[in-house]
Structure 1
Amino acid sequence: MKVYTQSINFNASSDLLKFIEKKMEALVKFHDKIVDAEVFLKVENTSDKENKIIEIKMNVPGSELIVKKQTKSFEEGISLGAESLKRQLKKSKEKQRDLLTL
């Protein structure tokens, strides 16, 4: 699976990019036909502590799964996003399996 990462208004560290790659690769266990994942990282200029926005768009045949999180750190956002995608991938695979059994 290919993972595309875009950081908006800042440069992402290589550690952060490796962390994202690892989290996204782990999702392959839940759906074997993931095409790719696009991860967008953005820092919002607010006085709010939760100013890090992550958006993950994952392409699987027949659908596009999207998750958006706003958190204190990118790592936290990526972890929460990965958990959310895990649930969506399981649901997508079950739907696919149900369609095949009809």
Structure 2
Amino acid sequence: MPEMRFVVRWPDDTVTRCYSPSLVVRDYLEAGRSYPLAIFMSLSATALNIGSERVREKYGFACSAAMDQLQILQDTAMRFADADDPQVLVEAFEP
């Protein structure tokens, strides 16, 4: 299964290198584009859940690394819950 990483920059300029068990994340996010926080989280959750399900279909179990990554994104996003129009930049995709 082709895994990949994607790099995001949060509203406070911190950077997170994220894991996806599938290239499906490229169907939902675009490198070089900023997203409102809620939209970024929704798209990321969809992509990571699809990736996890693809692992389940192939190996018989969900991808815990994808779910761990989603939890990290959710925890980080909470820091900006009260910010005015927080944006998340998808900086790059890495193989």
> TM over 0.5, yes or no?
no
Under a length normalisation based on structure 1, what TM-score does the superposition of the two structures give? 0.34
TM-score, normalized by length of structure 2? 0.36
Normalized per residue, the structure richer in strand is: 1
**Structure with the larger RCO, 1 or 2 (CA within 8 Å, 6+ apart):** 2
Greater C-alpha Rg: 1
